[in-house]
Structure 1
Amino acid sequence: AHSGPQALWPRMADVIAALMRQESGSLLAFLPGTGEIRRVAELLEGRLPADTRLYPLYGMLSPQEQDAAIAPAAAGERKVVLATAIAETSLTIEGIRLVVDAGLSRESRFDPASGLSRLETVRVSLAGARQRAGRAGRLEPGICCRLWQQAEEHGFRPQQRPEILDADLAPFCLQLAVWGARRPEDLPWLDLPPKAHLAVAREQLAGLGAIEPGTEELLPTPLGRQLVKLPLPPRLACLLLRAREHGYGALAACVASLLDDRDPLPLADASLALRLDRFCAPGDGHGAFRRLRQWAERMARLADIPTGNGSDASGASLLRTARQQLPHLGEVVALAYPERVALRSGENNGMAQYLMRNGKAAVLPLTDSLARQDMLAVAAVDAGTRGRIRLAAALEQDVLEKLFRSEITESEDLNVSQEGQVNARRRRRLGALLLDDAPLPRPDGDACALALCAFIRDQGLRVLPWDEPTRQWLARVRLLHQTWGDPWPDLSDTWLLDELENWLAPHLGTCTDLRQLSAARLADALRCLLPYP
């Protein structure tokens, strides 16, 4: 057992080194993620027997590197494989008779409120722990060392939580739509997909144009049928097809390859351009980049993306073309994540504040290279009330205007100051973003009258220009109504406030300030309410 998270990885390295000195055979260690694998590998450096080779095993490795970890050890050699949960059930590693289990796994959790997924490190389930232990006894009696107290298992889940309860369901719903399953809720599920996740999936697919909007049924569009042919989430598949139409297909293939997996080059800076520059640089042998470049080449072929060289449809030509298209990176990211276009709104506590098109707030440290940009296309952001931007690209407003011209709304907004003056502004918006806010020199007269009526209703009749003759006249009419009823009108405060648009608005004329309404005009408006001349 270990005493805490800081002591776990040194303890695990100690156990692995001791087992390899004392026992025969190869060893498989289970860790939650790639960061922990690298940490334990560093701690094991120089501590393993001379006949032992160390191999990492996780999803981002190239097929060749995964094959090397799985292959039987060479004659006279043993191996230590540091693996994520990928090695629980899907792979068989020859010669393993020793298992060391940290008891942790990393699982994706989708938040329908933000539309984002986040990775959480959680305890393995009891069933998962048994499955891991069984890897030690596949071919001969083995040993499993678990790095937790047996009493802790009372808090373990019996089974792993079904993925359908926590996943982003947009790819799944698009597949259902193409298969002809119009209403997922009506299918005979073992675990019913959460309604909130389905609603977010429908909204995302409709926003991409993959399904017909305005209906609860999943009705695929021709674009949706094209998207399922690409081995990517719908938004990245849509990115490839739309960017190809705009002429930035090579760059889109590289961007999609990077965004389809975890960040291969963890940096404190959020700039996606820095990563793309390294990704497209000739001769960079970064291991993770090699696999992702191959993935980008495959996507370019599947999406029929030209790369600028008819004799070389992939490889170096793709990277060269993508590098030439880097100035359009913000546009490409905005095509994939239109709801995350963000405007800078200020600074606070060392953070640049941004508001995204979907109404969510996001922050970026002022030390980041993008923190002075007025507008960003955000590719990755933490879930939460004020998530931190993890990956983004600078975006120019003229590019945004070109991309989303049909979705930008324009309105004339009026507000009235405490003094009763109407201020009119023409505002242009894209979702929650205010793109332009300019004063209107001559606002519409009818709109001004309605704004003044709303102001009077909020402030009360006291703000009107009453004089003594008008007050006395109003009192006499009210007395006649109380005494005789009809035809004398009810001119109570409540009635006058409720009916402002009918009796006062026509007499406001072109007033843009309540102070322009004279006592004489107010009296005329009231007298028009009488049934007699």
Structure 2
Amino acid sequence: MTRLPIDEVIPDLKTRLESANAAILLAEPGAGKTTRTPLELLQEPWLKGQGIVMLEPRRLAARSAAVYMAQQLGERVGETVGYRIRTESKVSSRTRITVVTEGILTRMLQHDPALVGIGLIIFDEYHERNLHADIGLALALQSQELLRDDLRPLIMSATLNAEPLVELLGGAAVIRSQGRAYPVETRYADAPAGAAPLEQRVTRAVRGALERHEGSLLVFLPGAKEIRRVERSLVPVVPSDVLVAPLYGALPAQQQQRAIAAAPPGKRKVVLATSIAESSLTIEGVTVVIDSGLRRTALFSARTGMSRLVTVRAARDSADQRRGRAGRTAPGVCYRLWSEAEDRLLPERTAPEMLEADLTPLALELAAWGASSPEELAWLDPPPAGPYRQAVRLLQQLGALDGEERITEHGRRMAELGLHPRLAHMLLKAAELGIERLACLLAALLEERDLLRGSAAVREDCDIRNRLSLLMNSEGTLHENGNPDHQVEDRDIQRILTMSRQYERRLGIEQRASSEASVGPGEDKWHLACGILISFAYPDRIAGRRADGRYILRNGRGAAFARKQHLSEASYLAIAEVDDEGTEGRILLAAPVKLADLTKHYSEHIKEERVSEWDEEAGTVRVRLRETLGAIVIKERPVQPVAEDFAQAILHAVTSQGVHILPWNDKARQLQARVLFLRRQNERWPDWSDAALADRAEVWLAPYIANFRKRSDLQTLSLLTILENELGWELRQELNAEAPTHLIVPSGSKILIHYDQGDVPYAAVRLQEVFGMMDTPRIGYGKVALIMHLLSPAGRPVQVTADLRSFWDNTYFEVKKDLKGRYPKHYWPDDPLQATATRRVRPK
């Protein structure tokens, strides 16, 4: 075999793994770590004939690595070296090195926590921080700790801060390989990244690079949509000897291989790729990289409980990985389509998926593993608490976890399917109804990008049933290069049907001859069943139509269609996709659902509530009985009010409109302000803000309105008395001591203390009345110096101070000159600290 840079450190790696139970291998791109390391370790004595599992973050890289290693052994893939990816498996009883992707390692560990027969788990390209890699490593480390002290994890990466991993792995050794990279020149754009549309900038850069450089080009773009746009822009303008080859995860394997293979003799290639080409792959003949500087990622919003795909700036570690692709086989050049000034602002590292993703799959895996919380496992970055709690609540709603957050039998069956918990729940519920084949097709459709990719089509047609029709009755609607209106491609249809059949096998459904037969019910029936199936997957996105045509989701968020369509008239929807921007989401994909189906399948969740509200115009109480599914009102009818309804209506008015509708006076507001002042000093004092009082109205206000029969009865309330009673005798004494209503000054006057202006209270007093007061009074447990507004005899401010001593020493004499001139008959002593305070013109 050809000598590779990684060969220099393999002996050291072997020694480390022989004496320790973990290691970290850092190797620059081109070192050969992915394809050489597993082969070199296979015959190590400590493996004792056991196998190796290598986790790759991308399917293309997994398949390519397995094929290449098999070729090095002179074998076909599936013999000594095999792979298992999402829709393919090529392994046999002879296989000792298995390259896997996504959740397959997790499934293996869940099925056999001891991983009998496996001696080494390799986590390749760990710097990508895939969620499944983090889950797999956490489970593997606990398996090693509790069951298999001879199980060895090996972390491999090109760009990674090793120190946190060393600590996580208990002081594991770090082996470094320098790789074999050729020099790469970096060139920046003159204008900022957003100066022109992306496809224009990329097309211009590609044409210029083809003229200036030899070799093939690798162009990094955020997603398949941008790749198609650039491809359409490039094909008519590049020379005839240049092939344009897309490369992204959803492409068939044959087209992916075409993109990474060497260009035919006399030809050059322009490979348009997503971040799939950042690592693990060497694309033959590439000497030029053009980087858009963008990546597509799914961000989970804990506020809305939804994920959305967003395009963001790539971080520096990602940009450096992309740049390195130009120097794998020869010296190269990298064109960055952003300015050098923008480059200095790039974040250093790509955020781990753990910190951005929907954590529902992780929460289900941990429950199936037997962990009661994430704290029981070791993580490089622990799951964020907010999104994790939201994931647990969704799993409880799906019936996967019980009230104690333990996995149910239904949840265990969901975990075994290896799908997102939402889709797994839908398949199992569909099996109970005998429509599992339709559910499998729907699950495969929901897992993939939208079949109707044209932006206009998506805006105008949000009915998922039309996508299903294309799948079930595609004859005459497909074209080899796609439909110009909807851009439906045969390869997309076939991929979804393949996935659907795979899900059927997981459910144990007997296979039928044709894909159409696998759907199950007839045309009319599946149209009716589609909505309830989507509701099983997205129970939080069941939506009811409002009077204005907008929708309210079960979770309380609003949603609406961007443009009117036939679905706009549906009374109830099950929404598969909705964006989470703003206060009201835009519905992207949905199906109508019948009320009869909702009442049948969600009867346990439908609550009956009695709602009492004041009718302002009629001056009386209106009472309705409502049946609700979350925030959706399914049915309501008026009923006659009873005594309790009047009080409930008042409480509802207070909580919805605010406590300002109550009869406040100055003394009640001052009491409120005094308590809030002390709460800022000591949190044991109650929160009496308007919002908190409105939220707790049922606790403190309800006893005083039990016999009210009309809105005007509110005016008889004494809020001062109610709030004083709420405090109790002891707290009132403490309140009077630490936040008194008045300040007694040397003249004998009682000066009102104002607590409602800012954080620090103040007292406004004539200057002559505080002669002899040496220091500023302090309140609030001695923490707060009272602000003194010192006034002239006419009551106008002459000085504001929180330090009386400093005022007497430094400022009084200047103030005195001015006041003596304006008020010559008044008393202005030379020594204010020894003078007699007075409320008169002069003291007696």
Specify if TM > 0.5.
yes
Alpha-carbon spacing, 1:376–1:15, altered in 2? closer, same or farther (3 Å): same
* 3-state SS, counterpart of residue 567 of structure 2: coil
Who is 1:397 aligned against? 595
Who is 1:331 aligned against? 532
Task: Spell out, residue by residue over 1:3-61, the C-alpha distance to the aligned partner (whole angstroms, 9 max, x if none).
Answer: 53534321211221232344332211001112211111111122223222211111222
* 3-state SS, counterpart of residue 561 of structure 2: strand
Alpha-carbon spacing, 1:13–1:320, altered in 2? closer, same or farther (3 Å): farther
Gaps of 5+ in 2: 1-188, 480-488, 655-660, 664-700, 711-844
Kept in 2: contact 1:408–1:430 (CA 8 A): yes
Picking from 551, 574, 586, the partner of 1:388 is: 586
Work out whether 1:189 is the aligned partner of 2:383. no
Work out whether 1:345 is the aligned partner of 2:546. yes
Who is 1:488 aligned against? none
Q: What is the count of residue pairs matched by the alignment?
A: 456
Alpha-carbon spacing, 1:123–1:423, altered in 2? closer, same or farther (3 Å): closer
The code of the aligned residue for 2:349 comes to: Q
Gaps of 5+ in 1: 462-495, 506-512, 515-533
Alpha-carbon spacing, 1:67–1:23, altered in 2? closer, same or farther (3 Å): same
Picking from 447, 450, 464, the partner of 1:272 is: 464
TM-score normalized by the length of structure 1: 0.79
Work out whether 1:260 is the aligned partner of 2:447. yes
Kept in 2: contact 1:251–1:322 (CA 8 A): no
Work out whether 1:282 is the aligned partner of 2:469. no
Who is 2:832 aligned against? none
Alpha-carbon spacing, 1:193–1:277, altered in 2? closer, same or farther (3 Å): same
Who is 1:354 aligned against? 551
User: For residues 332 and 380 of structure 1, what CA distance do their matches in structure 2 show?
Assistant: 14
Alpha-carbon spacing, 1:455–1:212, altered in 2? closer, same or farther (3 Å): closer
User: For residues 186 and 7 of structure 1, what CA distance do their matches in structure 2 show?
Assistant: 48
The code of the aligned residue for 1:430 comes to: L
Work out whether 1:428 is the aligned partner of 2:627. yes
> What are the within-5 Å matches in structure 2 for residues 463-482 of structure 1?
none
Alpha-carbon spacing, 1:20–1:455, altered in 2? closer, same or farther (3 Å): closer
User: For residues 374 and 126 of structure 1, what CA distance do their matches in structure 2 show?
Assistant: 49
> What are the within-5 Å matches in structure 2 for residues 73-88 of structure 1?
73-88=263-278
Offset of residue 318 of structure 1 = 1.9
Q: Which has the higher contact order (CA 8 A, sep 6+)?
A: 1
* 3-state SS, counterpart of residue 228 of structure 1: helix
* 3-state SS, counterpart of residue 393 of structure 2: helix
> What are the within-5 Å matches in structure 2 for residues 44-63 of structure 1?
44-63=234-253
Task: Spell out, residue by residue over 1:486-527, the C-alpha distance to the aligned partner (whole angstroms, 9 max, x if none).
Answer: xxxxxxxxxx995675xx69xxxxxxx88xxxxxxxxxxxxx
* 3-state SS, counterpart of residue 192 of structure 1: coil
> What are the within-5 Å matches in structure 2 for residues 297-336 of structure 1?
297-305=501-509, 311-312=512-513, 315-319=515-519, 325-336=526-537
Kept in 2: contact 1:280–1:322 (CA 8 A): no
Picking from 300, 307, 314, the partner of 1:124 is: 314
Alpha-carbon spacing, 1:340–1:7, altered in 2? closer, same or farther (3 Å): closer
Alpha-carbon spacing, 1:209–1:422, altered in 2? closer, same or farther (3 Å): same
* 3-state SS, counterpart of residue 418 of structure 2: coil
Kept in 2: contact 1:62–1:290 (CA 8 A): no
User: For residues 568 and 280 of structure 2, what CA distance do their matches in structure 1 show?
Assistant: 43
Who is 2:368 aligned against? 178
The code of the aligned residue for 2:495 comes to: R
Work out whether 1:365 is the aligned partner of 2:559. no
The code of the aligned residue for 1:282 comes to: S
The code of the aligned residue for 1:291 comes to: R
Offset of residue 63 of structure 1 = 2.5
User: For residues 522 and 572 of structure 2, what CA distance do their matches in structure 1 show?
Assistant: 23
* 3-state SS, counterpart of residue 257 of structure 2: helix
User: For residues 232 and 645 of structure 2, what CA distance do their matches in structure 1 show?
Assistant: 69
User: For residues 378 and 398 of structure 2, what CA distance do their matches in structure 1 show?
Assistant: 28
* 3-state SS, counterpart of residue 417 of structure 2: coil
The code of the aligned residue for 2:587 comes to: I
User: For residues 601 and 649 of structure 2, what CA distance do their matches in structure 1 show?
Assistant: 38
Kept in 2: contact 1:32–1:106 (CA 8 A): yes
* 3-state SS, counterpart of residue 569 of structure 2: coil
Who is 1:251 aligned against? 438
Kept in 1: contact 2:613–2:648 (CA 8 A): no
User: For residues 301 and 230 of structure 1, what CA distance do their matches in structure 2 show?
Assistant: 10
Aligned Cα RMSD in Å? 2.7
User: For residues 497 and 118 of structure 1, what CA distance do their matches in structure 2 show?
Assistant: 44
Offset of residue 243 of structure 1 = 1.0
User: For residues 648 and 200 of structure 2, what CA distance do their matches in structure 1 show?
Assistant: 69
Offset of residue 256 of structure 1 = 0.9
Work out whether 1:413 is the aligned partner of 2:632. no
> What are the within-5 Å matches in structure 2 for residues 92-241 of structure 1?
92-213=282-403, 215=404, 218-241=405-428
User: For residues 622 and 201 of structure 2, what CA distance do their matches in structure 1 show?
Assistant: 68
Offset of residue 460 of structure 1 = 10
The code of the aligned residue for 2:551 comes to: Y
Kept in 2: contact 1:29–1:100 (CA 8 A): yes
Kept in 2: contact 1:366–1:372 (CA 8 A): no
Picking from 208, 218, 221, the partner of 1:18 is: 208
User: For residues 395 and 280 of structure 1, what CA distance do their matches in structure 2 show?
Assistant: 21
* 3-state SS, counterpart of residue 136 of structure 1: helix
Who is 2:572 aligned against? 375
Work out whether 1:438 is the aligned partner of 2:637. yes
User: For residues 563 and 233 of structure 2, what CA distance do their matches in structure 1 show?
Assistant: 35
* 3-state SS, counterpart of residue 332 of structure 1: helix
Task: Spell out, residue by residue over 1:76-114, the C-alpha distance to the aligned partner (whole angstroms, 9 max, x if none).
Answer: 333211011111114332222221111111121110110
TM-score normalized by the length of structure 2: 0.51
Kept in 2: contact 1:21–1:49 (CA 8 A): no
* 3-state SS, counterpart of residue 551 of structure 2: strand
Alpha-carbon spacing, 1:360–1:136, altered in 2? closer, same or farther (3 Å): same
Kept in 2: contact 1:185–1:193 (CA 8 A): no
Alpha-carbon spacing, 1:115–1:78, altered in 2? closer, same or farther (3 Å): same
Offset of residue 129 of structure 1 = 0.9
Q: After alignment, is 222-231 or 374-383 more displaced? A: 222-231
Task: Spell out, residue by residue over 1:411-461, the C-alpha distance to the aligned partner (whole angstroms, 9 max, x if none).
Answer: 343445566755443211111111111123x66xxxx12224567999999
Q: After alignment, is 18-27 or 396-405 more displaced? A: 18-27
Q: After alignment, is 136-145 or 388-397 more displaced? A: 136-145
Q: After alignment, is 28-37 or 140-149 more displaced? A: 140-149
Task: Spell out, residue by residue over 1:332-374, the C-alpha distance to the aligned partner (whole angstroms, 9 max, x if none).
Answer: 1111111111111133xxxx31001111111113422311212
